[in-house]
Chain A
């Protein structure tokens, strides 16, 4: 049979237990706050990375065959290589910008292919080549530029010179 004294006793036990738990918890927290250890790491240089590109026409052929209406001329392979980020975790994507100047250039359209001309779909204008995970430091990408003269090119444009320009842009990705 329960008595008032017994009830008081159980309350005291509960209170003592709760206090113990609180004390342990606080003590642990205090220990977390107090324990500390410091160790000196070996000195190691840290430097920022870099990003640089080199380009090379493979085979050296830099003159396109003459263009005729609704016909295309392909460049040699343009090899683009990242040259400065070796050993870093940098990832990059490649953007290619092609322009053509000269009389009649308004009748010339260009397409950029990764790999050989006429392979998979050309890069869409303004888009970048970025394989999954990005391009790696030191990685090379081969490009081909196809120029096509419009069927509407007037006969008067025959024999005119054109100046194509190809710029490649490496952009850091993954930040």
Chain B
């Protein structure tokens, strides 16, 4: 049986390689790259809500706590405490930027707040802006009983 001559094999290989590489080199398409003018971005800072308090002339009165929307915040957690830096109890978690704190609303936390209320003292409201794991807490806003100690919560709540 005849074996192919080396020169023939080499020529055949050149043809095959040429036919394979030809299209790829022919398809070296033009391209051009341009960078857009620069833009700036940043990771935001979650600000603490700045609280305002207004005593509503309702019967009984209530303390209306409001704050401006905090950029980036997805919810606000409203909490009460007996002292400025004391342990806090959650009153509500909401997306709106205000809450009316009346006597009826505090009844659920009366045992927690009892000492402060019986002392005729102040209860502190804080609002924490939340965005996923990020939080920013306001400075406490003082509120207290609007009526006498005997009136208790039924006498309403006012800003202090």
Contacts and interface: CB of A to CB of B under 8 A. Distances in A.
Bound together: yes
Interface of A: 51-55, 57, 62-71, 73, 75, 78, 80, 90, 100, 104, 107-108, 147, 149, 151-155, 157-173, 175
Given A71-B72, A78-B36, A171 B31 contact: yes
A68 B72 contact: yes
A120 B37 CA distance: 25
Contacts of A52: 32
Nearest to A165: B35
A168 B6 CA distance: 50
B129 to A, nearest CB: 10
Chain B: number of interface residues, binned into ranges: 20 to 34
A129 to B, nearest CB: 14
A62 B132 contact: no
Contact of B45 (A57, A151, A158): A158
B86 interface: no
Nearest to A63: B40
Contacts of B132: 69-70, 151, 153
Interface in B15-71: 26-27, 29-46, 71
Contacts of A62: 37-40
B104 to A, nearest CB: 35
Contacts, number: 128
15 contacts: A52-B32, A57-B36, A57-B37, A57-B39, A64-B40, A67-B41, A67-B42, A68-B46, A68-B134, A69-B131, A149-B43, A151-B132, A153-B43, A168-B36, A171-B31
Contacts of A153: 43, 132
Contacts of B26: 175
B134 A66 contact: no
Contact of A51 (B31, B37, B44, B46): B31
Contacts of A68: 43-44, 46, 71-72, 131, 134
Nearest to A103: B43
Contacts of B32: 51-53, 169-170
Contacts of B46: 68, 155, 158
Contact of A66 (B27, B33, B36, B71): B71
A107 B41 CA distance: 13
B123 to A, nearest CB: 28
A147 B41 CA distance: 9
B134 A69 contact: yes
Given A171-B29, A172-B29, A175-B26, A66 B72 contact: yes
Contacts of B34: 53-55, 80, 167-169
A147 B35 CA distance: 18
A104 B42 CA distance: 9
A165 to B, nearest CB: 7
